[in-house]
A and B are shown apart, each in its own frame.
Chain A
Amino acid sequence: MTLPLAQAYLEQAKTDYMTYEIIRHHPSQPSSQWLHLLQMTLEKAAKAYLAAANSDFDQLRGSHLAFRRFVRMLPRNETVQEALHMSPEALREHVKNLEPLIAAIEQLVPGRGNEGPTAEYPWRNPLGGFHTPCLYDFGDIVPVIHETTRGRNLLRILQRSLNEESWHVAFGIRQ
């Protein structure tokens, strides 16, 4: 089975998110595991939306910080304004509020100058030795995601981006 690139990214993002939800509720799983899945969900969801405008596969693979760029488009889209019952200005403030958390999650990707923490690979401790994600608490991110309004709002936006048919049409993922 093949799909247009935007839909291919979207389906994989949905699956990553389902796995994130399963692992997040599993007591034996360290936060690095679901953070990694959440980061991948954000990236693939945003790339689905980018792919609807430009299906250059190689360029998209190298694209980064895509979810923050995606949410910045939301206030400019009338379908999103209607779906969220927010004025463009209010929606912009809403999105601005989410950006630090999105940036923190997007920063978990190893490489591109990121010397850690990452959700995937060990990183060097400047004082000696190495950290590994599965034993790291990610104390600046984890409580924000699940215990604050900002975190819940981010997850709501993410879920809509994955599941809201009107958004998919408005951004060209589906006709």
Chain B
Amino acid sequence: MASIAATEIQQEPKSQTTSSVSINNFTANLVTHRLTVNRFVRDPEDLLKTTSSPGQPRALYITNNVAPGWLMKSQTVTLCSECHGQIASASQQLVFIDSKTFAALRELAKEHFKIEPTLHLIAVYSQSSISGFLFVEVNDEAIPTGNVEPFYFAPGKNFEWPLYVADVTSDEWTKIKSSVIKLPSGWPRDPILIFHRAEVLKK
């Protein structure tokens, strides 16, 4: 699976080193800032707080795939090949998830974690157009099918986008990550976000 790594940023620029990347005039929510990527972590839940919207969490992550343009402001950057022990590819994409969208996704994930005590991970996928999100939910009590067979949830009061939800077992999730099990047609190979139970429920 291609890497998806959250990063931590600071508003003030720092000089670029082998483990950091400076980005000038990075646009997020129509506010221009000078940002410095100063370390790589694996978990998109490692949320960011920027002075552009104080107190509003945002997720910033790196993906090898083309990010859905409608969802995010993005800018392609060249990264160092190795940052804090994690291998990053030479050219990846730096993306900001709109805070409202991220909050809605996170809130929905939180609700699902609360409802399902045996659910421990939700991988969120998005297509390149506004056609909704796919939640692949890794659940200890999922019935193994060997496929990803989602159910459709129409937009509602609590979540304004079309949603597709599929329960999978841990073993199936391993196979999804290695592409042994394919997602339904039209969904990209890699998730845009991964929510972990402990992380979402503790906050």
Would B184 and A78 count as touching, CB distance under 8 A?
Answer: no
Chain B interfacial residues counted at CB < 8 A = 23
In the complex, how many angstroms separate the beta carbon of B132 from the nearest chain A beta carbon?
Answer: 10
In the complex, A11→B185 CA distance in Å?
26
In the complex, A69→B150 CA distance in Å?
10
Known: A56-B184, A64-B145, A72-B167. A172 touches B152 (CB 8 A): yes
In the complex, how many angstroms separate the beta carbon of A91 from the nearest chain B beta carbon?
Answer: 8
* Chain B: CB-nearest residue to A91: B115
Interface string of B174-193 (1 = CB under 8 A from A): 00000000001100000000
Of A54, A66, A79, A169, most buried by chain B (CB within 10 Å of CB) is A54
* Chain A: CB-nearest residue to B150: A53
Known: A56-B184, A170-B156. A69 touches B149 (CB 8 A): yes
Would B156 and A79 count as touching, CB distance under 8 A?
Answer: yes
Is B201 in the interface zone, CB < 8 Å from A?
no
Would A53 and B115 count as touching, CB distance under 8 A?
Answer: no
Would B184 and A76 count as touching, CB distance under 8 A?
Answer: no
Would A52 and B143 count as touching, CB distance under 8 A?
Answer: no
* Chain B: CB-nearest residue to A77: B153
In the complex, how many angstroms separate the beta carbon of A165 from the nearest chain B beta carbon?
Answer: 12
Is B74 in the interface zone, CB < 8 Å from A?
no
Is A44 in the interface zone, CB < 8 Å from B?
no
Enumerate chain A residues within 8 angstroms of B151, measured Cβ to Cβ: 49-50, 52-53, 69-70, 73, 171
Q: Which of A47-75 contact B (CB under 8 A)?
A: 49-50, 52-54, 56, 59, 63-66, 68-70, 72-73, 75
Is A150 in the interface zone, CB < 8 Å from B?
no
Is A21 in the interface zone, CB < 8 Å from B?
no
Is B107 in the interface zone, CB < 8 Å from A?
no
Is B165 in the interface zone, CB < 8 Å from A?
yes
Overall SS of chain B's interface: loop
In the complex, A17→B189 CA distance in Å?
39
Contact count band on A: 20 to 34
In the complex, how many angstroms separate the beta carbon of A59 from the nearest chain B beta carbon?
Answer: 7
In the complex, A88→B119 CA distance in Å?
14
* Chain B: CB-nearest residue to A80: B153
In the complex, A52→B132 CA distance in Å?
14
Is B26 in the interface zone, CB < 8 Å from A?
no
Contact of A169 among B112, B154, B167 (CB under 8 A): B154
Would B145 and A75 count as touching, CB distance under 8 A?
Answer: no
Is A89 in the interface zone, CB < 8 Å from B?
yes
Q: List 21 A-B contacts (CB under 8 A).
A: A49-B151, A49-B152, A50-B149, A53-B184, A59-B149, A63-B145, A69-B143, A69-B149, A69-B167, A70-B151, A73-B151, A75-B115, A75-B116, A76-B116, A76-B165, A78-B156, A88-B115, A89-B114, A92-B116, A171-B153, A172-B162
- Beyond A53-B164, A76-B153, 18 additional contacts (C-beta under 8 Å) are A49-B152, A50-B151, A53-B149, A54-B149, A56-B184, A64-B145, A65-B143, A75-B115, A75-B116, A76-B112, A77-B153, A78-B156, A78-B158, A79-B156, A88-B115, A170-B156, A172-B153, A172-B162
Residues of A within 8 A of B (CB): 49-50, 52-54, 56, 59, 63-66, 68-70, 72-73, 75-79, 88-89, 92, 169-172
Give 3 closest A-B pairs by Cβ, nearest first.
A172-B152, A53-B152, A88-B115
